[in-house]
Amino acid sequence: MSPRRTLAILRKEFRHIFRDLRLFFLVTVSPAFLLLLLAHLFVLDVQQIEMAVWDLDRSSLSRRMIAALTADGEFQVRAWVDSYAELDRLLRAGRVDCGLVIPDGFARQLEAGGPAPVEAVVDGSDPIAAIQAVFSLSQRVTAFASAGSRPVLIDVRSEAWYNPALKSLVSMVPGLAAIVLCMPAMALALALTREKEVGSFESLIATPVRGAEYLLGKLGAYLACGLLGVLPVWLVAVLYFRVPFRGDFALYLLLSAVYFLAEMGFSLIVANFVRNQQTAMLLVLTVFFVPSFFIAGLILPVDTHNLLSTLVSYALPTTHFVAISRGLFLKGVGPAPLQTHILLLLGMGVGGLLLSLLLFRKRLG
């Protein structure tokens, strides 16, 4: 293998990327642009909860509790009801997200130091909003009851590390970064298949360039441009979405390169069997982009109880980089806690590269 010919392929591919504005956008800018769009779509925090109140107690204490619940604007009283039927109509029409029922004798029981239950009725057709409404409402009611002069018998205090406000955006943005960074791998697959589609691959056959030199030159160019695209993604996450970055940026770049190697290894294999860009793009999106939203641990943890589900999830490079990205952004960890994910990505990358070198043939057909 000639390093000179490999560098010639590398320089040629760099020129092609920087001259074609669409390709340059796909490799370097599109990941940050996609992150900007997808992060807004996948925000799971409920910013405002519309509430109906049925106050059977009608005491000054119940009114103070309602004022305390709605003080910061997250809960807003949209209606006052006098029956479950009226509350049901509001929930069915979607005018409110939940209802708060304060029973008769609420103030008397609370002042006596006994249990003073209140009832929350939520719209379960939207389970994410319902869970957040119940959790937030129960916290606020407990805080109001604990603020009185009588001590509470059980005081359970919780603390969330790494994301104290439990904002889904803080968790989703580093995870989404792993998904949007599949664009350079798709661009590599398109570049390889484009040469077959437009006929320029025929000229390559007549040159002394070997298969390894050709593939490594292509891989090096797109891997370098992919790393260039990591910076806009990082800036969007840190400056626009205000996600804290507690890790080492140099380590993040290095592990991004390992991630690109794993994904581009698959792109090189795909390009050996595919003859047109449309099929290559469809395959890369089907393997990397779409499944990553559901089985890579982005929204729900990876299901480790089912062997088949675990194998499929861990076969995706995205699964490992979601864990790496969140670990570096939110926890500020080093490579040691992430070594399993790093080694698996390295194995995928090296294995895909070796297999593509074995399969590559300088011929048409």
Amino acid type, 94: G
pLDDT digits (tens, 9 = 90+) for 155-202: 334 556 677 776 778 888 999 999 999 999 999 988 888 887 776 766
**Is residue 13 within 8 Å of residue 218, measured between CB atoms?**
yes
Residues 309 and 51: their CA atoms lie apart, in Å, by: 40
Q: What is the residue whose two structure tokens read 């009725």?
A: 121
Neighbours of 195 (CB within 10 A): 16
Percent of the chain with pLDDT over 90: 31
Q: What is the residue whose two structure tokens read 């393997």?
A: 287
Tell me the average pLDDT across 28-50: 81
Mean pLDDT value across the chain: 84
pTM of the model: 0.76
Q: Report the candidate in 157, 325, 172, 159 with the shortest Cα–Cα distance to residue 254.
A: 325
| Architecture of the CATH domain 49-146 | 3-Layer(aba) Sandwich (3.40)
Task: Report CA Rg, the chain.
Answer: 28
Q: Judge whether residue 1 has pLDDT over 60.
A: yes
Position 110 scores a pLDDT of: 75
Residues 150 and 314: their CA atoms lie apart, in Å, by: 52
**Is residue 343 within 8 Å of residue 335, measured between CB atoms?**
no
Residues 138 and 80: their CA atoms lie apart, in Å, by: 20
Q: Judge whether residue 126 has pLDDT over 90.
A: no
Tell me the average pLDDT across 252-275: 91
Q: Judge whether residue 101 has pLDDT over 60.
A: yes
Q: How is the chain split into domains, by residue range? A: 3-43+167-359, 49-146
State both tokens at 285: 């999106």
Q: Judge whether residue 61 has pLDDT over 70.
A: yes
Residues 296 and 316: their CA atoms lie apart, in Å, by: 7
**Is residue 67 within 8 Å of residue 112, measured between CB atoms?**
no
Taking the CA atoms of residue 235, residue 240, residue 246 and residue 249 in that order, the dihedral angle to the nearest 10 degrees is 0
- Under 8 Å CB-to-CB from 360, ≥6 apart: which residues? 211, 212, 214, 215, 268, 272
Position 23 scores a pLDDT of: 86
Q: How is the chain split among helix, strand and coil, in percent rounded to 5?
A: 65, 5, 30
Position 143 scores a pLDDT of: 78
Tell me the average pLDDT across 221-237: 95
Q: What is the residue whose two structure tokens read 């004022």?
A: 67
Position 264 scores a pLDDT of: 93
Cα angle vertex 80, ends 77, 83, to 5°? 135
Position 299 scores a pLDDT of: 79
Q: Judge whether residue 123 has pLDDT over 80.
A: no
Q: Judge whether residue 154 has pLDDT over 60.
A: no
Residues 119 and 98: their CA atoms lie apart, in Å, by: 10
pLDDT digits (tens, 9 = 90+) for 281-296: 888 888 888 888 888 8
Q: What is the 3-state secondary structure (H, E, C) of 1-53?
A: CCHHHHHHHHHHHHHHHHHCHHHHHHHHHHHHHHHHHHHHHCCCCCCCEEEEE
Position 155 scores a pLDDT of: 39
Position 153 scores a pLDDT of: 37
Q: Report the candidate in 272, 262, 258 with the shortest Cα–Cα distance to residue 192.
A: 272
Amino acid type, 70: T
